Amino acid sequence: MKARFVMVGPPGAGKGTQAKVLTEKLNIANISTGAIFRSHIAEQTELGKLAASYIDNGNLVPDEVTDALVRDRLNQDDVEQGFLLDGYPRNLHQVEALDAILAERGEKLNAVIELSIPDEDIVGRLLYRAEVEDRADDTEEVIRHRIDVYHSATAPLTDVYRQRGILLTVDGTGQIDEVLDRLVRELKSFLNISDEEQ
Ligand code: AMP
């Protein structure tokens, strides 16, 4: 099976960390829209300047910009082996845009992995990350806004994917290795993959 996964979850759930280790383990492309935006910001490209004006305030970058970026990225060669999208789609419009991009390729998602953590853990985790990673969008005020944006714009995605029967909710609490083990185990059973086939 060619892996075509999405990772969704509130800010601070550990999506980026788990996406990185999981994609390395499965040898598939790790596509993080947030990371792509951050590299444009670091290189001070036009896209970076535009994205920063949204990201720094905890708002979503406009759909047209983000959809076009993902469409381009999914056309690159390394995606041939499979992919995991981390942080996209992030609202219902993007769900449709992704459906359209994949439909053009005759493809569909296999699983949407929802990494869940209790709301009360989110702020603490993000403030800690702000110290270690120095992200401009990890101030307390912006964090609170990003959590609101998650609940209003992104959380409804899970209902859509649940109805399609492709939502896998994984408990994101605990140490990185612990969460990865849990995730891999639950993903395999969700996809009906035995250890021998791996
Ligand atoms: P992340 O690293 O996934 O937390 O993303 C950091 C920030 O990048 C978000 O708070 C948004 O401002 C922006 N961003 C990332 N992915 C998307 C997306 N799919 N749509 C719109 N904005 C996004």
9 pocket-lining for ligand 1 (C-beta < 6 Å): no
For the CA of 15, the closest atom of ligand 1 is: 3
Task: Note the pLDDT of residue 197.
Answer: 55
61 pocket-lining for ligand 1 (C-beta < 6 Å): yes
The CA distance from 189 to 121, in Å, is 28
3-188: CATH topology is Rossmann fold (3.40.50)
pTM metric for this prediction: 0.93
The CA distance from 107 to 2, in Å, is 10
23 pocket-lining for ligand 1 (C-beta < 6 Å): no
Kind and range of the H or E run holding 29? strand 29-32
CA of 37 to the centre of ligand 1 (A): 8
**pLDDT tens digit at each of 198 positions of the chain:** 899 999 999 998 999 999 999 999 999 999 999 999 999 999 999 999 999 999 999 999 999 999 999 999 999 999 999 999 999 999 999 999 999 999 999 999 999 999 999 888 888 888 888 788 877 788 888 888 999 999 999 999 999 999 999 999 999 999 999 999 999 999 999 998 755 554
CA of 52 to the centre of ligand 1 (A): 10
For the chain, which residues make up each domain, given as ranges? 3-188
Task: Note the pLDDT of residue 124.
Answer: 85
Amino acid symbol at 59:
N
- Closest alpha carbon to 3 in 84, 112, 76, 102: 84
CA of 164 to the centre of ligand 1 (A): 24
